[in-house]
Amino acid sequence: MENINYDFIISEIKEVCKISKDKIDCITNMANISAILNEHLKNINWVGFYIFYNNHLVLGPFQGKVACTNIALDKGVCGKSFFSNKTLNVPNVHAFSDHIACDNNSLSELVIPFHANFIEGVLDIDSFLLNNFSLEDQKNIEEIVKTISSIL
């Protein structure tokens, strides 16, 4: 992605989200975080959260088109990222086995697992461009997820 001020994104997330120990604030904060990321990240068509619940991932707050509501932990980029507890940066989702196509316009995907006080899951970011997420983008967004984990 081109010229993104990741430090500004982190400061905006900290400013907008109240640091709280309340489960309801987690959902509110995830909604605001999705909006902030949607506004500042380049060439994306979906950004949001999947929350771990009852041994699968359930759709949480997001920005973008209608999305898959439940993802098994052995399916798709999100499920495999959460299950392995590793970031997955997929330059071409159509070449990824078990990719779940919620939006056929998505061509690349970055998924980062998070573990916070009351909630855990993944941050999922899709792009309409192939190979949209550089290693530098990945590292910066992983830092954002560390910040998010301290807030939620």
The model's pLDDT over 127-152, given as tens digits with 9 standing for 90+, comes to 999 999 999 999 999 999 999 898 87
pLDDT band for position 38 (50/70/90)? very high
DSSP assigned state of 110: E
For residue 139, count other CB atoms closer than 10 A to its CB. 11
Whole-number Å distance between alpha carbons of 113 and 122: 4
Task: Considering only the C-alpha atoms of the chain, give the largest distance between any 2 of them, rounded to a whole number of Å.
Answer: 40
Residue 75 DSSP SS3? coil
Q: Indicate if the pLDDT at residue 79 is higher than 70.
A: yes
**What are the C-alpha distances in Å from 142 to residues 23, 31, 51, 64, 133?**
23, 18, 17, 21, 12
pTM equals 0.92
- Dihedral of the alpha carbons of 72, 75, 78, 81, in degrees to the nearest 10: 110
The reported pLDDT for the residue numbered 1 is: 55
Of 2-16, 87-101, 127-141, highest mean pLDDT: 127-141
Q: Where are the beta strands (DSSP E) in the chain?
A: 44-53, 56-64, 70-72, 88-90, 108-115, 120-127
- As a whole number, mean pLDDT of residues 73-80 equals 93
The region, left, alpha or beta by phi > 0 then psi within -120 to 50, assigned to residue 137 is alpha
Considering the segment(s) 6-151 as one domain, its CATH architecture is 2-Layer Sandwich (3.30)
Whole-number Å distance between alpha carbons of 98 and 120: 22
The reported pLDDT for the residue numbered 2 is: 61
Average pLDDT, the chain: 91
